[in-house]
Amino acid sequence: MKKYELVFIIKPMEEEALQAVIAKFEAMVTNNGGTMEKIDRWGKRRLAYLVKDFTEGYYCIFRFTGTPATVAELNRVMKITDDILRHMIVKEDE
Amino acid sequence: MRREKGRRPRKKVCSFCVDKIESINYKEIGRLQRYVSERGKILPRRISGNCAKHQRQVTLAVKRARSIALLPFTTE
């Protein structure tokens, strides 16, 4: 089990829709043999450059422990979800 | 060839070593922005004055920040 950090940017949408997306991925972490540690919401931020023609995005950060399989599955689903503008999973240092 | 006269540039010290920072995180954009030029390029060591260890960390952190649209790849 390793510690990972997942950062993703969601399209700007209504609060409830955002909530649903975050909850969905939170469930995905636990269902794939991972444990959530912390959810950090940065909220809406201006993007440094245009991503899929959006100038703003909602940043959210998950810290979790999991296996490589958890990461692979998250990566796969994140890529095919249209509401996610960008995502990145990194191994946590410290 | 003779060396040009003038003041020798002051030896720069790594600001991360001074602040005793062990690891540089890609989320601290405020800090990272100081090591990026106006056009968004990473400043070389001879200008930033970082030590090799911290310069490597800065590079990685800036690249990560770029990939999630926290820092620009290029401006203009």
According to the model, what pLDDT value does residue B63 have? Answer: 92
CA–CA min distance B49, chain A (Å): 24
The beta-carbon neighbor of B68 closest among A9, A93, A94 is A9
The beta-carbon neighbor of A86 closest among B69, B71, B72 is B69
Please give the Cα distance from A92 to B71 (Å, whole number).
Answer: 20
Give the Å distances, CA to CA, from A54 to A1, A8, A62, A68, B67. 36, 14, 22, 31, 15
Q: Give chain A positions within 8 Å (CB) of B23.
A: 93-94
Under 8 Å CB-to-CB from A34, ≥6 apart: which residues? A64, A65, A66, A67, A70
> Could you read off the pLDDT of A2-26 as tens digits, one per residue?
888 989 898 888 888 888 888 888 8
According to the model, what pLDDT value does residue B11 have? Answer: 74
Please give the Cα distance from B74 to B76 (Å, whole number).
Answer: 7
> Taking Cα atoms as reference points, which of A86, A77, A35, A25 lies closest to residue A57?
A86
> Could you read off the pLDDT of B26-73 as tens digits, one per residue?
888 888 888 999 888 999 988 888 888 899 999 999 999 998 888 888
Beta-carbon neighbour count of residue B16 at 10 Å? Answer: 21
User: What was the ipTM of the complex prediction?
Assistant: 0.79
According to the model, what pLDDT value does residue A69 have? Answer: 86
The beta-carbon neighbor of A49 closest among B26, B27, B72 is B72
CA–CA min distance A27, chain B (Å): 23
Q: Give chain A positions within 8 Å (CB) of B69.
A: 9, 47-49, 51, 57, 85-86
Look up residue A7 and give its two tokens. Answer: 């950062």
Q: Which residue has the higher pLDDT, A33 or A87?
A: A87
